[in-house]
Amino acid sequence: MGDPVASRTTVVINDVTNDDNRPADPKEMRMSEQKAGRVLGAVLYENFELLDLYGPLEMFGCVKPELRIVTVAEKPGPVASFQGPSTVAEFGYADCPPLDLILVPGGIGTVQQLAEPGIASFLQERSPSAEITMSVCSGSAILAKAGLLDGRRATSNKQVFDFARNQSDKVEWVAEARWVEDGPVATSSGVSAGTDMALGIIARLYGKERATDIANLTEYEWQSDPTRDPFTKFLNAAFNR
């Protein structure tokens, strides 16, 4: 009986070699992966909400190699979250590769971004060619201000719901929803809701079974009904404290 560890090792080695048994060039592997699947661009800005970003990216990251994640900000380099830890932006707006999916987190930094033309211009340029543009929490305020939600249904963080609603009266704002999908746009409620939305988008693009498998793999209890929203009772609560 052969050594099962050795057998597994052989499989791994074969995965990273060429037909002539030369070690595969990492650059060639990345290029091959890029050609094979979608590219998701996670948009960063100072004081973004950490879980808004990393909850969805945990789920989307489990779709590889069919999906590759890149990070983008106004310029490459570290971008600090509101909670403290920084995330490195691999690309700036100017040199970002073509994106199939776009993810915009929310957070206290949203307020400043509404006054910055760069992020709106980037999204206005890239969103029309993307398959789906997504926002989490107050990130929908950025999409609304950029006009990307005009004529569509959308939601946002319930505790500061009117913050997003006040950015555009051309949006059909849905107060009771975990997340909302309307054509090429998807918006989620606050923070943790982005993870549920991410699995919903995975189900849409790769099948419900794939999304369920990822939820089980990550030991996450997926709230798969986008209309179930236990946090509507806190609508605009932050403004009433």
Secondary structure of 72-100 as H, E, C letters: EECCCEEEEECCCCEEEECEECCCCCCCC
Query: What type of residue sits at position 97?
Result: P
| 154: enclosing H helix or E strand | strand 153-154
Proportion of the chain above pLDDT 70, given as a percent: 85
Sign of the dihedral through C-alpha 99, 105, 110, 112: negative
Model confidence over 145-169: pLDDT tens digits?
999 999 999 999 999 999 999 999 9
Domain ranges for the chain, please list them.
37-240
Question: What is the CATH code for 37-240?
Answer: 3.40.50.880
pTM of this prediction?
Answer: 0.85
Q: How far apart are CA 62 and CA 107, in angstroms?
A: 24
Residues recorded for the chain: 241
Residue 42 CB partners (closer than 8 Å, separation 6+): 53, 57, 69, 70, 71, 72, 103, 105
Contact 137, 190 (CB under 8 A): yes
Model confidence over 72-89: pLDDT tens digits?
999 999 999 999 999 999
Q: How far apart are CA 111 and CA 184, in angstroms?
A: 25
Token look-up 């099962």 returns: 4
Q: Are strands 153-154 and 172-173 parallel, antiparallel or unpaired?
A: parallel
| Confidence at 239, pLDDT banded by 50, 70, 90 | confident
